[in-house]
Each structure stands twice: as structure tokens, then as C-alpha cells.
Amino acid sequence: MELKDFSYEGLSSGHLACAGCGAALAMRLALKALGDKVRVVIPASCWSVIAGRHPDASLKVPMMHSTFEVAPSIATGMKAALRRLGTDHITVMVWAGDGATYDIGFGSLSAAAERNEDIIYVCYDNEAYMNTGVQRSSSTPQSAWTTTTPTGKLERKKDIITSMFAHRIPYIATVTLAYPEDFMHKFQKAQKIKGFRFILVLAPCPTGWRFEESRTVEISRLAVETGVFPLLEIENGIWKITVRPKMIEIGSYLKSQGRFQHADPEEWKRAVKDQWDFIEKFAGGQHGCDSAL
Ligand code: SF4
């Protein structure tokens, strides 16, 4: 694993996120990996608030806010302009929540991926519309409480990774906060690749998931160790599991969050098994385990 100096701090203290916000920590790690030659497009989401406004913005790199639907289109135009100006070395990154990615902006995301635009699309996935009061999205997991699913969501979470895989883009990865080296390594790798790159960040949200704000990283780790959130990458169609989970008891993840009070552990065990059966078929035994859990 190539590591470089991660001293760059692109996120200022005093930003507007809740205490313990996984999405804020995720941005900090992403910019440590990418450096300051980055332009960020942020569709409607918690990050529309976290970023603040000029001249008090929390990001030290240039950013543009957008509506839910058009961030990939704006990023496409931004990259074309940079190319025209002879500054093609600057990375353009969309930083979107799951509402913009899985639901409202999926059309423009799909179109930009199909055109293989030279941008990095990041979904910081907090598994609901947190900014507007914790409504369910198609990323919300089965049985999770939200204000629009008060007795638990009935449907399983949409599989966005397989959806993006179907677009035949050059690079797809999943990352989360408890594995910062894996996280930053994948962002660095994505930055060096040309074409459309998609990175899914599991970003625990103490407000919407109902846990104490000091437990964000611990819950991020539990998501991986229980097999709920696989850490993998897909490079030119080749699947690779980057961290092999211990598959500890699913109850430890469900009990860690108030949103799962209606969850059935047996149903979750089946869902996790289905997910891993599917991944193992694609991964074909390729495990680049940089860290064995
Ligand atoms: S609601 Fe959740 S995602 Fe939004 S700022 Fe607060 S902790 Fe972060």
C-alpha cells in the first residue's frame, strides 16, 4: 500500500455538523488523501449545511452547491472547463448523500457514469434523508426506524455497488471511517485513474441512527466486522475484498443503534449471508487483505 504525507487539513474546525458526524470525518479523510488540487460539487444534503457559506466556509478547497439532481452534470462541465484552461490535473469530486445518489439524482449519476466522465463521485451514505429530518431513502436498511418508517422499513437497502458495476466504470470502492488507511489508499488510487470513479462511504450518523456521538468510529467498525458493510474495490470489472471481516454476531451492530429496535436478527443474518454469497461469486477468491480483522 502506497502511503503519502496525510498532513493536509482541507476541513476547518468549527464546521456546522452535529457532534460525532461520520460525514464530516469522512470529508476530512478524503481531502487528506486527495490534497488541495480538488474542486467539490455538493448537492442538497447535510453537507450543504456543514460546508457553511463564504467567507466562513469550512472547506479550504473551492466548492459549488447544487440541487439534488444535477451534481454529476455540473461536475462534468467543471472538468471540461478545467481541461480547456489547461488545468486538467485538478480533480473534480461530487460529494453527495444517499438521497442524491440512490434516489433523486440517480438519473444524472447514471448518465455521467455511462459517458465515463473524468470525475470522482462520492456518496457519503448515512442511510436516510438526515438533513430534512430523518426520512427513509432507498439506502435505508430493512427494519430501520426513520420518521417515515416508524415501525421499521419493510424493504432491503438498494444495492448501489452492483448498480454502478453494471455501468462498467473503471473504479468502484467502499470505505468507512474505522479503516482510515484503507479509506485514504482508495481515494489516492481513484485520483490516479481516468474516467468515472465511484466511492461509497458508510458514514454513521448519531442523530438519525440514534447512538452516542462518541461511538461513530466504533459503529463504523462493527458494520464491517459483522459483514453488514463489505470493504471492497472493483477495478476494471475485477472485484477484490480488501478487508476480510470476522463475521461477529450481528446483534452487536443492531443493539448499538436505537433505530433497530424493530429488527429481527435472523432476518439480518439471512440478508448478510445473501450479500456475501453474491460478493464471493464475483470476487472469485481475490482477497487483497491489507488488514485481517
Ligand atoms: S444529521 Fe447526521 S449526517 Fe447530518 S450533520 Fe448531523 S450527524 Fe452529520
Asked whether residue 291 carries a pLDDT value surpassing 90, the answer given is no
Specify the ligand 1 atom closest to the Cα of 134.
Answer: 1
Segment among 31-40, 154-163, 203-212, 278-287 with least mean pLDDT? 278-287
> What does the pLDDT look like over 129-157, one tens digit per residue?
999 999 999 999 999 999 999 999 999 99
Confidence of residue 2 (pLDDT cuts 50, 70, 90): low
- Rounded CA-CA distance 256/150 in Å is 18
Residue nearest to atom 8 of ligand 1 (CA): 21
- Rounded CA-CA distance 215/204 in Å is 9
Q: What stretches of the chain show up as alpha helix (H) in DSSP?
A: 22-34, 46-50, 71-84, 98, 106-114, 160-165, 180-192, 206-209, 216-225, 251-255, 265-283
Which of 11, 201, 205 is the pocket-test mutation for ligand 1 (most atoms within 8 Å of CB)? 205
Q: In angstroms, what is the span from residue 241 Cα to ligand 1's centroid?
A: 29
Q: In angstroms, what is the span from residue 291 Cα to ligand 1's centroid?
A: 29
Is there an atom of ligand 1 within 6 Å of 202 CB? Answer: no
Cell 454513521 belongs to which residue? 204
Which of 207, 209, 216, 219 is the pocket-test mutation for ligand 1 (most atoms within 8 Å of CB)? 207
- Rounded CA-CA distance 38/69 in Å is 21
CA proximity to 45, closest of 144, 125, 142: 125
- Residue 135 belongs to some domain of the structure: yes
**Which CATH number do you get for residue 161?**
3.40.50.970
pLDDT of residue 286: 53
> What does the pLDDT look like over 242-251, one tens digit per residue?
999 999 999 9
- Residue 151 belongs to some domain of the structure: yes
Residue nearest to atom 3 of ligand 1 (CA): 205
pLDDT of residue 3: 54
Is there an atom of ligand 1 within 6 Å of 219 CB? Answer: no
Asked whether residue 293 carries a pLDDT value surpassing 50, the answer given is no
Asked whether residue 287 carries a pLDDT value surpassing 70, the answer given is no
Residue nearest to atom 2 of ligand 1 (CA): 205
- Rounded CA-CA distance 164/153 in Å is 24
pLDDT of residue 136: 98
Average pLDDT on 80-89 reads: 97
> What does the pLDDT look like over 169-226, one tens digit per residue?
999 999 999 999 999 999 999 999 999 999 999 999 999 999 999 999 999 999 999 9
Q: In angstroms, what is the span from residue 215 Cα to ligand 1's centroid?
A: 14
CA proximity to 216, closest of 204, 208, 227, 228: 204
- Rounded CA-CA distance 150/148 in Å is 6
- Residue 183 belongs to some domain of the structure: yes
Q: Interior CA angle at 269 toward 23 and 258, to 5°?
A: 45
- Residue 71 belongs to some domain of the structure: yes
Strands of the 38-43 sheet, one edge to the other: 63-66, 38-43, 91-97, 120-125, 197-202, 171-176, 231-235, 238-243
- Residue 70 belongs to some domain of the structure: yes
Specify the ligand 1 atom closest to the Cα of 213.
Answer: 7
Confidence of residue 163 (pLDDT cuts 50, 70, 90): very high
Is there an atom of ligand 1 within 6 Å of 99 CB? Answer: no
- Residue 163 belongs to some domain of the structure: yes
CA proximity to 72, closest of 110, 35, 27: 110
Confidence of residue 6 (pLDDT cuts 50, 70, 90): confident
- Residue 8 belongs to some domain of the structure: no
Q: In angstroms, what is the span from residue 52 Cα to ligand 1's centroid?
A: 14
**Proportion of the chain above pLDDT 90, given as a percent:** 91
Task: Provide the 8-state DSSP code for 141.
Answer: P
Residues 102, 110 contacting (CB under 8 angstroms)? no
Is there an atom of ligand 1 within 6 Å of 279 CB? Answer: no
Which of 11, 18, 50, 257 is the pocket-test mutation for ligand 1 (most atoms within 8 Å of CB)? 18
Asked whether residue 1 carries a pLDDT value surpassing 80, the answer given is no
Domain count, the chain: 1
Specify the ligand 1 atom closest to the Cα of 124.
Answer: 3
* Phi and psi torsions of 122, nearest 5°: -110, 130
Cell 462518541 belongs to which residue? 214
Asked whether residue 127 carries a pLDDT value surpassing 70, the answer given is yes
Count CA atoms closer than 13 A to 274's CA, side-chain side: 9
Overall residue count recorded for the chain in this entry? 293
Residue 153 cell numbers, joined: 422499513
**Proportion of the chain above pLDDT 70, given as a percent:** 95
pLDDT of residue 288: 46
Domain range for 104 is: 22-283
- Residue 155 belongs to some domain of the structure: yes
Residues 177, 26 contacting (CB under 8 angstroms)? yes
Is there an atom of ligand 1 within 6 Å of 58 CB? Answer: no
- As a whole number, the mean pLDDT across the chain is 94
